[in-house]
Structure 1
Amino acid sequence: MTTEHRAFADLPFSVGQVVRGEPFTVSEEDSDHFERGTWLDRAYPEGDVPEFPDTLIEGFHLLSLLDAVARFAAGEAAHDMWGLNYGLDKVRWVSQIHRGDRIVPTFEVLDVQPKDGGFKVLRRCVYTVEGNQVPAMVADWWTYALPRGEFEKGRHG
């Protein structure tokens, strides 16, 4: 595993790079906030589906954490650029994650393409429950990276 690129200009050379983020857990309070914020509590007022364990974390909750978890993994590496969400190609929830599980995130750069003074960057984002061999979630996620100052000038929309 290598460390994350350190500058905007290095993005084209980052293909193949893998960054391991800090393990994290999702608490019951986190799940409750997600359910309220996404109206799941309104959509399913009767509560959880009886067939599902109470501790099971909603897949879209895990997906919604990608931006923050990727930022934590990048640390100071992204100090000279903006990263905007560009979309997802594929997301799979392969195995369950429960509240309290230690989730290990990894991010591998699969592709970098020039676009309007910036770069589209495709990363494979994987969450694995610590101690498991099989990943729990795999997402191929595009971001659009621009050098700091460019977005603020209104050149990109």
Structure 2
Amino acid sequence: MPTVIEKKQEKEYIGFEAEPTAWHTISQEAINQFADCTLDHQFIHVDPEKAKDTPFGTTIAHGFLSLSMLSHFAEQYSVIIDGFYMGLNYGFDKVRFMSPVKVNSRIRARAKILDIEEAKAGQYRVKTQVTVDIEGEDKPALIAEWISMQLVA
């Protein structure tokens, strides 16, 4: 559930760390569907038999699949300005893929607000550092600095 903040109090939320999201399982079906959407059918993602012979011993999710899950997780960790009526993906300042996500692994996101600025009246840019954890692993799947634009009435 997003945290709603009052206009003109946004700077107080810089450094805010949301509770970690719920865990989400990355299934082979999800990996295959992502491969179909992106036309990236590299065997390491879609061929469990061939993938057994790799250092991972199984298929792994596409890095971009793990990154795309930020949209799902954002519903749980977001900070939104009161009067919010629409959000837009503004881009990323940094993305690093740290560790592969093996099939049937569970991932979750942790988020920290790095900056909130009113770009112009009713338009706020929010920069969030998002870390995607893999259950039972020391290294995260990825760390990203994601920028969103919030349109506020």
Would you call these one fold, judging by a TM-score over 0.5?
yes
Q: Match of 1:14, as an amino acid?
A: Y
Q: Is the 8 A contact 1:8 1:147 kept in 2?
A: no
Q: Post-superposition shift, 1:55?
A: 2.0
Matched, 1:119 2:137: no
Identity %: 26
The reply on whether 1:32 has 2:32 as its aligned counterpart is yes
Distance 1:70 1:38, change over 3 A: same
CA contact (8 A) 1:119 1:144 kept: yes
What is the aligned counterpart of 2:151 among 142, 146, 154? Answer: 146
1:142/1:8 Cα in 2 relative to 1: closer, same or farther (>3 Å)? farther
1:11-50 alignment runs, 5 A limit: 11-19=10-18, 20-41=20-41, 44=42
Q: Following the alignment from structure 1 to structure 2, what is the Cα–Cα distance between the partners of residues 59 and 88?
A: 15
Q: 1:27 to 1:80 in 2, by over 3 A?
A: farther
Deviations 1:49-107 (Å, cap 9, x if unpaired)? 764644211101111111121113349x6784122111101111111211211212101
**SS of residue in 2 equivalent to 1:33:** helix
Shift of 1:135: 1.7
Identify the residue that residue 90 of structure 1 maps to in structure 2. 94
Structure 1 residue runs without a partner (length 5+): 149-157
Which consecutive unaligned segments of at least 5 residues does structure 2 have?
none
Structure that is richer in strand per residue: 2
- In 2, the alpha carbon distance for the partners of 1:114 and 1:105 equals 25
CA RMSD, aligned part only? 2.7
Does residue 6 of structure 1 match 2:15? no
Report which stretch shifted further, 125-134 or 30-39. 125-134
**Displacement over 4 Å in runs of 4+:** 47-50
TM-score (normalised: structure 2): 0.79
Aligned with 1:83: secondary structure? strand
The CA deviation at 1:27 is 0.7
